[in-house]
Chains A and B, each alone.
Chain A
Amino acid sequence: AQKVTQAQTEISVVEKEDVTLDCVYETRDTTYYLFWYKQPPSGELVFLIRRNSFDEQNEISGRYSWNFQKSTSSFNFTITASQVVDSAVYFCALSEAETSYDKVIFGPGTSLSVIP
């Protein structure tokens, strides 16, 4: 069973629109970590955020915000006022004690295109 699901394969938005990328995860561990990474066309993955299972506070960083809800096993990512530079593939990822914290399980990714 897929442990990290990103149901949106591809999303297109017009510049300045807000967009939310969905992430649903599955784990039996009580302690786990969730991540978001961005992979622009250049190929290098860029770390965006890390959240542990005990910290359900939402986070905002500039135009980026994250909504972590343990009750629905979701860790969604919102970009406000999207820009062309936001065009990339975004991966949600999970690490858990059951499989080793060193092993990060990536979701399939959501390809975001921001159209000028």
Chain B
Amino acid sequence: DTEVTQTPKHLVMGMTNKKSLKCEQHMGHRAMYWYKQKAKKPPELMFVYSYEKLSINESVPSRFSPECPNSSLLNLHLHALQPEDSALYLCASSEADRSYEQYFGPGTRLTVT
């Protein structure tokens, strides 16, 4: 099973809402990633978890809060977002400790109104 699943597929939220994005993988990977992708741009790394610990935070605003409850799950909690946060949010996983290929989920298309 080489699938990374993400829910929801689409999300519309107001600037005062709190919502969460979810990501799951069952490949036994110990590294998981959140990326943000704007239209016609490459993915931008937001966070990396390695062995369930946050290893990289790319200076992401605190209105984005990641969580890794276990080795298969990755959440991204959203609060007080801005319209410019509207984007495709991609989750990925890979083996840890070295630069292995990442397997991506289909993404969550987020619109902030």
Q: Which residues of A contact B (CB under 8 A)?
A: 32-33, 35, 37, 42-47, 50, 91, 95, 100-104, 106-109
| B102→A47 contact, CB < 8 A | yes
Q: In the bound complex, what is the Cα–Cα distance between A91 and B43 (angstroms)?
A: 9
Q: What does DSSP make chain A's interface, helix, strand, loop or mixed?
A: strand
B87-112 CB contact bits vs A (8 Å, 1 = yes)? 01010100010111111111101000
Q: In the bound complex, what is the Cα–Cα distance between A86 and B76 (angstroms)?
A: 32
| B106→A44 contact, CB < 8 A | yes
| A103→B48 contact, CB < 8 A | yes
Q: In the bound complex, what is the Cα–Cα distance between A39 and B28 (angstroms)?
A: 24
Most chain A beta carbons < 10 A, residue from B31, B41, B55, B102: B102
Q: Which residues of B contact A (CB under 8 A)?
A: 31, 33, 40-43, 45, 48, 50, 55-56, 88, 90, 92, 96, 98-107, 109
Q: Taking A43-B106, A91-B42 as contacts, is the C-beta distance between A102 and B31 under 8 angstroms?
A: yes
Q: In the bound complex, what is the Cα–Cα distance between A105 and B99 (angstroms)?
A: 12
Query: What are the nearest 10 A-B pairs in CB distance?
Result: A106-B42, A101-B99, A95-B99, A33-B99, A45-B104, A47-B101, A44-B106, A102-B48, A50-B101, A43-B107
| B99→A109 contact, CB < 8 A | no
Most chain A beta carbons < 10 A, residue from B55, B56, B100, B109: B100
Q: Distance in Å from the Cβ of A1 to the closest Cβ of chain B?
A: 16
